[in-house]
Amino acid sequence: MEIAIIGAGNVGTALAIGITQAGHNVTISAGQPEHAQEVARAAGARAATSNGDAVRNAELVILAVPFTAAPEVVGQLGDALGGKVVVDATNQLSSDYSQLDRWDLSAAERIQARSAAPVVKAFNTTFAVDMPTGRAGDAQLDGYFAGDDAQAKTLVAQLLGQLGFRPIDAGGLVMARVLEGMALLNIALQSRYGWPWQSGFRLVGPTSVTEATAAA
């Protein structure tokens, strides 16, 4: 699959590494082209000269930019996103990381309002260090995702599984609000207890991937 990653920070870098290792072709762009080139060399990906160049041949576009920039990026790409799936990996955290910027509307919903392409929330509940493998230590992590387009979600679920996550369909895009809250909780716990920013979420109990997906 041809995948574009917009953003070459910690998240964009981790996803580029994991996705290329999973056998996909990755093109990455960044505000500073030299940063994209650096990450591309490390990940075995291709560096794009612009966001438009990055998404041109992509089937799936991952937003790994600060949430404040994501709606603008999507708006600027406009029709270039036609026929593609947009994955929102952002979290709309306040400047001090103490709360969400909004509780009544997720970043993913705000992005969807700017684009006709289907938006799927994914990767936001996991720290970058765990993204290439979908694991925290020896534990497989849940890869939660949410969206309103069934075909788009199937594509994202497949990618999550290929990276090593247990894909869990959380429901419609409105559930992105909950997923962003989960990310906030994980961040708050790391700060409160001095944890090493490597832990993630996994549901335990009498459940399976099939049951969890079917119940969403």
Collapsed DSSP state (helix, strand, coil) of residue 140: strand
pLDDT tens for residues 117-133?
999 999 999 999 999 99
Residue 72's CB: how many other CB atoms inside 10 A?
11
Inform me whether the pLDDT recorded for 134 exceeds 50.
yes
Q: Give domain 2-215's CATH number out of 3.40.50.720, 3.50.7.10, 3.20.20.70, 1.25.60.10.
A: 3.40.50.720
The model carries a pTM of: 0.93
Q: What is the pLDDT of residue 209?
A: 61
pLDDT tens, position by position, 5-59: 999 999 999 999 999 999 999 999 999 999 999 999 999 999 999 999 999 999 9
DSSP string, 25-67: EEEEE-SSHHHHHHHHHHHT-EE-SSHHHHHTT-SEEEE-S-T
Using CA atoms, how far apart are residues 176 and 121, in angstroms rounded to an integer?
6
| DSSP conformation class of 93 | B
Question: Following DSSP, what letter does each residue of 147-179 receive, concatenated?
Answer: ES-HHHHHHHHHHHHHHT-EEEEEESGGGHHHH
pLDDT(210) > 70: no
Selected residue with higher pLDDT from 96 and 71: 71
